[in-house]
Amino acid sequence: MSVCGEEVVLDYELQLHTELSLQLQTELAMETEEPVRNALSKWLEPIFTETAKDVDLRFFSADTDELRRLIQEEINDKQTSYTFQLPKENYMHLGVANISDNRQIQLSDATHAATMRLAALEREELPSFNTGVFTARKHMEIGDTSQQFDVRLYMATCAVAIVIDTTACDSLVSLHGLMLGSARSFSIRDSLYAYDPKHKLIFDDVPVTSPQFAPANRSKNAQLPRLFSCMATSGFPTQDGESWTVVVTATLTGDRHTRTTLTIDEPVEAGALRILRAHVDGKGGIEPDEGQEVGVSVELDWKEGGNHDIEV
């Protein structure tokens, strides 16, 4: 490797393709949906952010795949710039933003570009990712003249929300959701997701704090005093050409449970927000709202590991 080299200027910028506010305003446009729209917007803020809190920037030899330079720091900005010297060589540059505070993702095998990846924790059920993570990759040829590179960091994660009208089920106590079919890890250099081993993402309850929209006969139920229930989760994208599922378990009074499996063919891509709309029937089953291409299977009187009555 030549020790000679020239000054390198790298300009970084986060690129967010989902216009969160516009999507929420479009898909949750009714006046009665304003509380759930506001609550979901607040929950999604750390996911669909335009600010890089921290960056991890690595420069690997394109020939030997050895790590030549590492920059790790907090920037708390959408854009930043670095100027430094790199020896004359060809490089593979990989960058990650907003990883340090994420409790569910680790930066793994990062001493070589070929193995560097974002990996979810190895659990069967995983909490929602608590930050949106952004990545970049760029080939760089460093010669004998100063050079400037523009580096864009793109979102590697996504989010799914389900908004459920609970009006019709007076006996509803609570809802619990799981998502199946999202990727387990992401190879940054190759921009490839891996889906094994399989895991489940847990939906967070998104509190909707405006009970004035709840029907009068529901106001006595302190556990669910609202017209709409909202759940959301964030993780890696789903796989092209493969369906993914959302499993919702409704707990009813008398310790009764109804489990609904929603099957969706259209994938959730990196950087995207998918909002599912549904309503609860009188038996606790989840029915997708009209116009949504979602398969449904309902198990009444569901008990873990037991026999169930199935409605399709």
Quote the pLDDT of residue 16.
85
Predicted confidence at residue 7, as pLDDT, reads 83
Complete DSSP assignment for 209-234: --GGGS-GGGTT-TT--SSEEEEEEE
Which of these, 196, 238, 200, 235, lies nearest to 124 by C-alpha position?
Answer: 200
Nearest in space to 18 (alpha carbons), one of 234, 188, 277: 234
pLDDT at 227 (0 to 100): 76
Give the model's pLDDT for residue 224. 41
Specify the amino acid at residue 72.
Q
Place of tokens 């505070």: 101
Return the C-alpha torsion angle 285, 286, 290, 292, nearest 10. Answer: -140
Which pLDDT value is given to residue 32? 82
Tokens of 294: 């979602």
How many residues does this entry show for the chain? 312
Pairing of strands 67-77, 52-61: antiparallel
pLDDT of residue 214: 37
The answer to whether 134 and 155 have CB atoms below 8 angstroms apart is yes
SS3 state at 42: helix
Q: In what order do the strands lie in the sheet with 134-142?
A: 67-77, 52-61, 89-97, 134-142, 147-155, 5-15, 79-87
Give one DSSP letter per residue of 265-304, joined into a string: -SPPPTT-EEEEEEEE-TTS-EEEPTT--EEEEEEET--T
Return phi, psi of residue 158, to 5°: -150, -175
pTM, whole model, 2 decimals?
Answer: 0.89
pLDDT, averaged per 10 consecutive residues of the chain (312 residues), comes to 68 89 92 90 94 96 97 95 93 97 96 98 95 97 91 96 92 95 98 96 89 40 62 98 97 95 97 96 95 94 63 43
Distance between alpha carbon 180 and the CA centroid of its chain, in Å?
A: 13
What are the counts of helices (DSSP H) followed by strands (DSSP E) for the chain?
2, 23
Domains in the chain (CATH in brackets) are 5-13+49-155 (2.60.40.2100), 20-48+157-311 (no CATH)
Q: pLDDT at position 225, please?
A: 40
Dihedral angle sign, alpha carbons of residues 73, 75, 78, 84: negative
